Structures are given as structure tokens and as C-alpha cells.
Amino acid sequence: MKGENKMLDPICDMTVDPAKAAGKFDFDGTTYYFCSVHCQKLFQTDPAKYLAAADTCMTQMDSRTASPFYETLGFFGPPLAARMNAELGRTYSTSKHLNWVFAPTSDARPGWGSENARWGNYDAYGLMGSTTDSSGYAFSMNS
Ligand SMILES: [Zn+2]
């Protein structure tokens, strides 16, 4: 299947085809692929630092009971949790992060989250925006 062997660059989260990667680096039993020599060099300077930072973020997010997101940052949670679980033996909750992507509200901004309805004649499913303000707005990309 096309795209089946794509990997995420651990520095910039860009999707990388291992056969076309600008570089790769083996660390702690895992091969990491990079979009550029710049990203590879950053990672190689201290790979444990980047993995520790990712663990700190995921541990903090896993400890929350409600979505801390109302824009698109939460979209990175499910693939990062799944990857770290599969490659590093972590046990982050992929279902919690996935459910937050589709949550209609958040701790950070109550009443804002994933749209799960039509707005008049417009399909708003999957957009992020106000789920309680009928005169609000929604968007597809933001951070
Ligand atoms: Zn990169």
C-alpha cells in the first residue's frame, strides 16, 4: 500500500519515506529517519533529551482527565502515543488522545472543540471551532 512505510521525523514531525530520507540514526534499538540533515544533527546531539521531552509531554497529557486542546495541537497526540508505545514500549493512552481530537469541548476553552454537525447548508464535521456559540466560527487549521 502506498505510504505504508512512512515514518515521522522526531524533530519536526514531518512524514519521511525511509528510502528517500535525508538521513537516519539508530538509537536505543530504534532507527529514526529525518527530513533534513539539520533535523538529524539536532537529534544526534542528544537523542535522550528529545525522547525525555516527548515522554514529559505525553506523561503530562496522559495525567489529564479532559482535553486540554481546542485547536489542532491535539492531533499530534494519537500518532505520538501509538508510536512511542510501539517503538519504545510506553503505555500512553492512544484512545484518550484520539477521543480528544473529536471532543466538542476542552478544559482550555470550554465550548470549543471538534464540530460534529452541519451549519445550515455547510458541512462542518471535523472543523475546530465554537460548539456552543451559534454565531461562532470554525477553521480547519490553526495552532
Ligand atoms: Zn525534519
Ligand 1 centre distance from Cα of residue 31 (Å): 15
Three-state DSSP at 28 gives coil
Ligand 1 centre distance from Cα of residue 68 (Å): 26
Ligand 1 centre distance from Cα of residue 20 (Å): 13
Q: How far is it, in rounded angstroms, from Cα 59 to Cα 89?
A: 14
Residue 16 pLDDT = 95
Residue 106 pLDDT = 85
Mean pLDDT for back-to-back runs of 10 residues, the chain (143 residues):
71 91 92 96 94 92 84 80 92 93 85 84 85 77 58
Q: At what angle do helices 94-101 and 77-88 cross, to 10 degrees?
A: 170
Which of 124, 86, 127, 129 is closest to 106 using CA atoms?
129
Residue 53 pLDDT = 92
Residue 3 pLDDT = 45
Question: pTM (2 decimals)?
Answer: 0.72
Q: What are the residue ranges spanned by the domains of the chain?
A: 1-45
